[in-house]
Structure 1
Amino acid sequence: MAEPLSPHATATLDSLLAGPDPVSSALRAQIPHARVTDRCGCGCVTVDLTVDRAAVPPAPAHGNPAADAWYSVPDDAGVMVFTKDGYLSLLEIYSASSEPITTWPEPRFLKR
């Protein structure tokens, strides 16, 4: 069953999609209509997303990932947001270490 985005995942998306370009603006508008539909099996905080397509239009054509960045803390982690058909579909965190990241790092540590 779909569940709301956590406040930390929401803040991560807001920060990752900051910017005035049309794709980022359209994807940010989808955040309030996004729900978590699945989680990564490794124990990290990566989430599959679905968006209420009746509530908000798709983003203009763009590549995948739609946005990505590294963290300065932890310095071995990064995050990417993917879309499908112009809608948010995956918020993925990854790390160079062998341990999964089990909490969202503070968005203020994102660097592009």
Structure 2
Amino acid sequence: MAEPLPLDVAATLNALLTGSDPVSSALRAQIPHTQVAGSCGCGCVTVDLVVDDAAVPPAPAHRNPAADAWYTEPEDAGVMVFTKDGYLSLLEIYSTSTEPITAWPESRFIER
């Protein structure tokens, strides 16, 4: 069952999808219509996303990941957003550390 999008996840998506290009704009417009559909089994904060496709159109054709960046804090972490059929589908955090990241870093630490 889908759950409301947490504020830290929404902030991360907004920080990743900056810019005025058509893809970023369309994906940002999906954020208010996005819910969390699942999470990663390793203990990290990666989330599966589902968008109400009746409420908002898909983004134009684009590459996957749709956006990616590194964090300045923690220095060993990065984040990517993936889509499926033009809709947000996965927000993945990763680390070069052996420990999973168990809380979303503040979006102000995202460096594109």
Task: Report TM bin, short chain.
Answer: over 0.9
Name the counterpart of 2:72.
72
Name the counterpart of 1:41.
41
Name the counterpart of 1:21.
21
Show structure 1 runs of 4+ deviating over 3 A.
none
Structure 2 unpaired stretches of 5+: none
Structure 1 unpaired stretches of 5+: none
Is 1:57 aligned to residue 43 of structure 2?
Answer: no
Per the TM alignment, residue 100 of structure 1 is displaced from its structure 2 partner at its CA by: 0.5
Per the TM alignment, residue 70 of structure 1 is displaced from its structure 2 partner at its CA by: 0.2
Deviations 1:21-49 (A, max 9, x none): 00000000000101111100011100000
Deviations 1:72-112 (A, max 9, x none): 00000000000000000000000000101011001111111
d(CA) in 1 for partners of 2:35, 2:108: 23
| RMSD (CA atoms) | 0.4
| Counterparts of residues 77-92 of structure 1 (less than 5 Å) | 77-92=77-92
Query: What one-letter code is carried by the residue in structure 2 that aligns with 1:75?
Result: E
Query: What one-letter code is carried by the residue in structure 2 that aligns with 1:107?
Result: S
Per the TM alignment, residue 60 of structure 1 is displaced from its structure 2 partner at its CA by: 0.3
The normalised TM-score by structure 2 is 0.99
Task: State the identity as a percent.
Answer: 77
